[in-house]
Structures are given as structure tokens and as C-alpha cells.
């Protein structure tokens, strides 16, 4: 699909901290992102790297103790500085979100039909009959059989895969232009994961949406995304086209992350875990946050490396970017 030149969403210098009894925790530390219509951006990294907080910051659905600064331009409008009434009009209608665990995201005491209807009431002017017809169409669109009959079911009457499909149907109710998917296949078995990911890709293609997919599964990124941003300790370590990131990583963390993945070259080959632990986010990180775990570190890494262009559309915040060898990917 042809991707528009102008980004639908542009995030500049996003900072998010949480005030706690033990001090301030910097969950997101100067993130820059762009996503265009028809594009699928994968946001990857270890647990606690700031992926989900970044996603939730876009529409400001964060805990009250969060402190957010920076810019989140949606079609040229900064969502971090618009009134709550305007933000409510954007949420669901223009930007929709699929949460990580549908059993906790869905209301257990309301039927699936009522939960779809709530979204349609909030964001459309359809009549009651038209809303029911649209709800049936949505369930059918996401692959739920006997859609009309399933409108009266409660979330606990659906399997895990069907609950995820129902949540996707709710997210699509107002035909948004951007879909934020926060690890939408985490609790599902591999067969259902594949079905859900193929469904999301089909919907992006058919509806001309953009999507940001948060995951820690690099295999999922390779199969579904056109662009990828690698996060570490609340910062973007590297970003660019999937092909470039996987075959020519230009950040030591990206390379270590890829090398830790199992491959199909031989059986009983030991994995290569990344040594050490991510840094604590409640303490200052003056230099590269990956420095204590990095085998390519040099003295300049003790100062924070900026994101610099490596190639068109490919950026890295690593002083060793041009010294890293290309990665040999098994056939």
C-alpha cells in the first residue's frame, strides 16, 4: 500500500514520569515517533522499557500521578495541550486502542452488544436499529460466527480469542484512523495469535488505518510491521524499516536483542541472553542507559548519545553504530 508522506501522528520529545512516595520514576524519557496512514509501526523492547506508557500518553489515559511533557501532534493538533472535551472526541472516534488483556478491559456485567453500542452512541448519530445492524456487521467483520446471536453474550461466554476479536470490534466501531494495539496477542495460543495478527493487518489494509503495535516478540514484528522502534529504559534506541533493523542493526542493544532470539540453525544450541539488568528509572541516567550491559561501550557512551540518521529513515542513538557488523539472518 502507498504510504502518505505526511505523518498522521508525530511525537516529539515525549517525557512521562510518575510521582511516587520514593520519588519520581521516568518511564518515558524524550521519545520521538512518527506514523503514517497505512503504516504499521512496531514498538519493541524489554518489559518496563516504556512501550505501553508511550502508547497511553498519546490519548492521555494515564494515572493521575503521571507528569507528561512534550508534543503529540495528531493531524497537526497537539493532543497534550487540547481541552479534555476535544480529547474525548478524538478517543475512540479518530484514535482507538486495543488493550493487552480483554478480560479486564471489557465490562464483565455488560453484554458485548451493549459495549459496542456504547461506542456507537458516543461517536456516531446512528439510530438504535442502525446501531444494532452496525454491531452485527462489526462482529462479523472480525470473524465472530453467528454475530447477531453473540451480541447478547457476556465476555465470560467468549473464548480468549473471541474476546480479543470483540474488543477489536469495539475499537473499530467509529472507523478510527489510528489503532493503538498494546500487546493484543499476549495471553493467546500461537494459532489464535496468528489469526488475530492477520485480522489486524487485513483491517489496516481495508480501512486505510495506521497502527502502532506494542510487543516484545520480535517474530511478530518481522511478520506484521513495516517500521520498528526499539525502546530501552524509556528512550528510543533505534528506529527504521523492519528490513534494516533486522539485517543491519545499528545499536548495540538492538543487536543484543536480536542475537538473544532462538533460530532454526541447529537443535540444543544455547540462547545468548543479554547480561545484567536494565537500569532503575528512579535514578538519573546521564549516558547511554545500555552502557553497563554493552560489549561495544567506549568513553563517549558516558554522555547521552543523540538519535542520528544512519540512512534515510533509519536512526540510532549509539556511538558504535558504524562499528557494528551486519547481522547474518538464518535462511
Over residues 240-285, the pLDDT tens digits come to 999 999 999 999 999 999 988 876 666 667 778 899 999 999 999 9
Q: Which helix (H) or strand (E) holds 98?
A: strand 95-98
Spatial contact of 197 and 26, defined as CB atoms under 8 Å apart: no
- DSSP bridge partners of 11: 33, 72
**DSSP state at residue 156:** G
Q: Is the pLDDT reported for residue 328 higher than 70?
A: no
Lookup result for grid cell 514498538: 43
pLDDT tens by residue, 201-252: 988 898 889 999 999 888 889 989 999 999 999 999 999 999 999 999 999 9
Q: What was the pLDDT predicted at 264?
A: 63
* Residue 227 CB coordination number (10 Å): 24
Cell numbers placing 255: 543487536
Spatial contact of 67 and 16, defined as CB atoms under 8 Å apart: yes
Round to whole Å and give the CA distance between 19 and 38. 37
Amino acid at each position: 500500500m502507498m504510504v502518505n508522506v505526511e505523518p498522521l501522528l508525530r511525537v516529539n520529545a515525549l517525557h512521562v514520569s510518575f510521582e511516587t512516595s520514593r520519588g519520581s520514576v521516568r518511564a518515558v524519557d524524550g521519545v520521538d515517533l512518527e506514523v503514517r496512514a497505512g503504516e504499521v509501526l512496531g514498538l519493541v523492547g524489554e518489559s518496563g522499557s516504556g512501550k505501553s506508557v508511550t502508547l497511553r500518553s498519546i490519548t492521555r489515559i494515564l494515572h493521575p500521578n503521571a507528569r507528561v511533557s512534550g508534543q503529540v501532534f495528531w493531524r497537526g493538533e497537539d493532543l497534550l495541550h487540547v481541552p479534555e472535551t476535544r480529547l474525548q472526541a478524538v478517543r475512540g472516534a479518530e484514535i482507538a486502542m486495543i488493550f493487552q488483556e480483554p478480560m479486564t478491559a471489557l465490562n464483565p456485567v455488560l453484554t458485548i452488544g451493549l459495549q459496542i453500542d456504547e461506542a456507537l452512541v458516543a461517536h456516531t448519530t446512528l439510530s438504535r436499529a442502525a446501531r444494532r445492524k452496525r454491531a452485527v456487521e462489526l462482529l462479523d467483520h472480525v470473524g465472530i460466527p453467528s454475530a447477531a446471536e453473540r451480541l447478547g453474550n457476556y465476555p465470560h461466554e467468549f473464548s480468549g480469542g473471541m474476546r480479543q476479536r470483540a474488543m477489536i470490534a469495539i475499537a473499530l466501531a467509529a472507523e478510527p484512523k489510528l489503532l493503538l494495539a498494546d500487546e493484543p496477542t499476549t495471553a493467546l495460543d500461537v494459532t489464535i495469535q496468528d489469526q488475530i495478527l492477520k485480522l489486524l493487518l487485513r483491517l489496516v489494509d481495508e480501512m486505510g488505518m495506521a497502527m502502532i503495535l506494542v510487543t516484545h516478540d520480535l517474530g511478530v514484528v518481522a511478520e506484521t510491521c513495516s517500521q520498528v522502534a526499539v525502546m530501552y529504559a524509556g528512550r528510543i534506541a533505534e528506529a527504521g524499516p523492519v528490513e534494516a533493523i533486522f539485517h543491519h542493526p545499528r545499536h548495540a542493544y538492538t543487536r543484543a536483542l536480536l542475537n538473544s532470539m532462538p533460530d532454526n540453525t541447529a537443535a540444543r544450541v544455547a540462547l545468548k541472553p543479554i547480561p545484567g539488568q536494565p537500569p532503575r528509572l528512579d535514578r538519573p541516567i546521564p549516558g547511554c542507559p545500555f552502557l553497563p550491559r554493552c560489549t561495544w561501550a567506549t568513553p563517549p557512551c558516558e554522555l547521552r548519545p543523540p538519535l542520528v540518521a544512519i540512512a534515510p529513515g533509519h536512526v540510532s542513538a549509539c556511538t558504535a553504530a558504524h562499528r557494528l557488523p551486519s547481522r547474518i539472518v538464518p535462511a
